[in-house]
Structure 1
Amino acid sequence: MTNLHECCCVCLNNILTLNQVSNMDENGVSLLTKLQRSIPQVEWDLSYQICDPCTNLLSIVHTFRETCLKSDIIRRQQILLVQEELKVEASSLSKEQDGVNTEENQDSEDIKSESDSDADDPDYHKSAISNGNNNKDSKHTTSKCSRKKPNFHCEKCNMNYLSSTLLIRHCISEHKMVRKEIRPFACTRCNSRFGNSSNLLQHIKYHDAVRSNMCTYCGKGFITKTDLNIHEKQHLNMREYKCEICAKGFNTHKDLRSHKLVVHTDSQTWKYFCKICSKRFPIKSNYDCHMRRHTGDRKFECHLCQKKFTDKCVLQRHMRTHSNVRDYKCPHCEKEYKDKRVLQIHMAKIHGIGIDDIKLPSRERRYICHICPKAYYAKNKLTRHLYTHTGEKPFFCSMCDKKFNDKSYVKQHLKKAHNIKGKMELLDIDIKNNSGR
């Protein structure tokens, strides 16, 4: 049989001239880097080799990809320039309009000053109501005031301001707040606040929930371009963000920041604190999930069995229990698993691989029999044990109706008494059906 490392890693041909994937092109980019960037779904090994025809094809694909990315950057820059030009034009037009209206504003200034002085009189508001809308000057003043309605309010004292700059100045001088802690821009649909208008606009997109940005690798949709870029970095798996403390690499800056908070920061300094059980959390999403466990808020529901969960990732893990697909296979034995973490635990416990990288679960016999001193790791084991005390035998043989207190005993009985060894999955269904008798 041909050694796969002695043939082309793309076309698997071992007759043509082969090049090491570590070889560099004229721009100093290795063939391995080109393979990883162009086809990130495959785990390319440094020991692989590639033939000349596939090398030429790879060069074309890589060049096409780089050209698309550069064009996208230039396109975004041009869009920003156009937007800036439009802002400048709008600003100049508004100035021209202000110049045209200067005389009109000057004429109304006396009227405005009189109305401002009258506003201090308590009887002023009554007379304004009685006059109605017949006076054109009062109409003009009212419309001008409505245009200048305060939009920015202080969270500390509820003072209103016409601009974010005035609000920030107020918060710094009156409440001694730090600039980065001030969030003048408030969402009208929820209680969220932001430091600038662009973050508010991004937030509003999540309320609309239009997933128009599609991933080119898996087809998943995202609300913002930023979310899409972060997601696609997971596909590329280039781990460009390195931790300067432990040199571990991450795909996004957010992942690196979370790593530093969780691994390299003292837990006593973590920002989020549970007032119920005094537990601290480095990240708000972890804190929110923890608080839902206290309140019993299970908003994530399985559409197959209607079981509810407090966390989305727990629901996703649960969904795998409904499937028989076992994507995670141990390279050292025949074991297969539905969950990646379970495979990692298996490799650490059985094969001693990655034992320093994963925290092995500490098993505790939490399920204690109330009749005798026996204790068990799992609840189903305790339930099975309790049948020995009650004498209950809920499992039946489908061939002779003999009763058992454990499903495994039914399988043993079928092999010994009835010489039935095959199609055990079908018999499992019979056992489950019989258990309901």
Structure 2
Amino acid sequence: QTIRECLQSAFNELFEAERELFSLYQEMAESASPSLLRRVAKLQTELEAQGFYALHAQIESVSAGLGIQQLGLDTLMSALSGGQRHKVLLARLLLRKPDVLLLDEPTNYLDATHIEWLKSYLNAYVGTVLLVSHDVSFLNAVTTGICDIDYQKIQKYTGSYHKAMAQKRHNNSLLEKEYHAQQAEIKKLEQFIAKNSAGVNASIAKGRKKQLDKIERVQLHKTDAVTEFDFSYAPIGHQSVISAEALSIGYQTPLLSPIDITVARGEKLVIEGFNGVGKSTLLKTLMGEVLPLSGEMTFAQGLKIGYFAQDLSWRHPDHAPEQEVCAVDSSINSKSARKLLARFGIKGDKAQRRLEALSGGEQTRVKLCCLATRGCNVLILDEPTTHLDTSSKDALKQALQRFAGSVILVSHEKAFIQDWPDRIVDIATLAELSLQAEVEA
């Protein structure tokens, strides 16, 4: 099945009607009976009423909006990566235009440009949209209500994400004030009862005891524990940790013109660019997983790289998180591994579950925990926030800011990369600058 055929399957009934109509046209060449003419007229009317003749334009429009056109609509689905298939299936769902649209992390694998298109599309959508997303800027742009799940309780708020969280903080503040006021009243009653349970005021104390028993106790809301990340640093003396000159990346053919790039000790570098341009390939080349097609690379002595891959694949998916952490460092025992995992939000029996049974966010936290146990001086991270919730993203951002080593990060989330990187570069711009240098030389 090609991408085009997959997208067209959103309108199977209409395309079947078109095929029947074409077959009837062939029959009419031999015999045009009244019943045949009536059936042809009915099918033509149905197709026109359903907007069939505008479907190809709709498919082209949605494909362009989500960045699918550049893949080639005649490309086989089997040849696509997981992220590319995600975009195609999202496009097919949007084309169907159901009354209720259910979206689970729709911005995953989308570039910033395509996320902006999706925002506009959903804001103009006439049906109901229910979505799960950890992309705060996306939520602020498209939502009119937020259902917040915290410590196994769900609360609905009206408005954008920021308005909802502001209302949540306000409600919690009011609840705390009410709780402390009630506790003061309870303490006062208890002291009176204890002091006057015998003697002339005993009857009054008895009445106060009844009053105390009738008080409906205010309960402070429990909240999910805040995740705390921290990455171990291995000191390195060199000022430049990784440098590349005229670096050509790719597999059989170059993805970009040659690149010059230098990463300084302690530098926080973010690499941007549209999907498929070569960001992941560049990261794999910088860490030595993929050999460059040409060019020179220099690595500082004592370089230790920690790498987070975009896909959540495991060498042993049947292993438990505890086993994975212990495998990173033989000096870590099971008890220490569980403590480390708990700091990354993997608590209780989740440390014993099979990796493949964990959610995407849980698997991400396990991988980050494994990274944290390795002493490294360069962190190379490929879309680490894809499956993380908002609090985990904040914890990761703070950990990367605190990390004394260098960070090379690929991320499409504008909110995540605000304020803290030393440099944000577009991979295509790097290539263009390199190409310009060649022309000037």
Where relative contact order (Cα < 8 A, 6+ residues apart) is larger, the structure is 2
Q: Work out which of the two has the higher radius of gyration on C-alpha atoms and give 1 or 2.
A: 1
Name the structure with the higher strand share. 2
TM-score (norm 2): 0.20
TM-score (norm 1): 0.20
